[in-house]
């Protein structure tokens, strides 16, 4: 399952992403704000969404805030979360291939939604290479 979360800065992109997933029949669980509130705080949504991902190793996450950085920091505080803040699809691909990233964070103020869709597609379809990377990941 894909867990989608955001704060006010990512609210619009999260709504658009869910509409895209609905169109493509991609299953997801939304754990962001129920409406736009310019005063909300991303940890209030990213913490429970991260905990939801950890309930099942097959879960993935897509978290959206203004820069992608705050959501990334909060997500990575959870053991078992390997979040990447990707600003292009090459970063998303390498994070999956080499790091087995299970959470993608995105900066809505830094990335066009068209680019976000490309990043999400690459992230969700790229495979973990395994091999020497397993040894490295086991060290953290």
3-class SS string, 31-68: CCCCCCCCCCCCHHHHHHHHHHHCCCCCCEEEEEECCC
Contact, 41 vs 58, CB < 8 A? no
What is the domain partition of the chain in residue ranges?
A: 2-138
In this predicted structure, what is the pLDDT of residue 118?
98
Give the CATH number of domain 2-138: 3.40.1400.10
Q: Read off the tokens for 3.
A: 């867990």
92, β-bridge pairs: none
Burial class (CB in 10 A: 0-12, 13-18, 19+), 115: middle
What confidence tens digit (pLDDT) does each residue in 10-28 have? Answer: 999 999 999 999 999 999 9
Q: What's the distance, Cα to Cα, between the start and end of the chain in Å?
A: 24
Across 112-129, average pLDDT: 96
Give the mean pLDDT of the chain: 95
């Amino acid at each position: 399952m894909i867990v989608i979360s955001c704060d006010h800065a990512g609210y619009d992109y999260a709504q658009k992403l869910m509409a895209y997933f609905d169109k493509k029949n991609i299953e997801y669980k939304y754990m962001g704000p129920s409406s736009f509130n310019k005063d909300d705080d991303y940890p209030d949504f990213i913490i429970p969404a991260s905990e939801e991902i950890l309930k099942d190793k097959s879960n993935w996450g897509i978290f959206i805030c203004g820069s992608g950085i705050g959501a990334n920091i909060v997500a990575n505080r959870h053991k078992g979360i390997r979040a990447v803040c990707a600003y292009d699809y090459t970063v998303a691909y390498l994070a999956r291939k080499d790091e087995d990233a299970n959470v993608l964070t995105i900066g809505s103020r830094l990335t066009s939604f068209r680019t976000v869709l490309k990043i999400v597609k690459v992230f969700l379809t790229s495979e973990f290479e395994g091999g020497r990377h397993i040894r490295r990941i086991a060290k953290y």
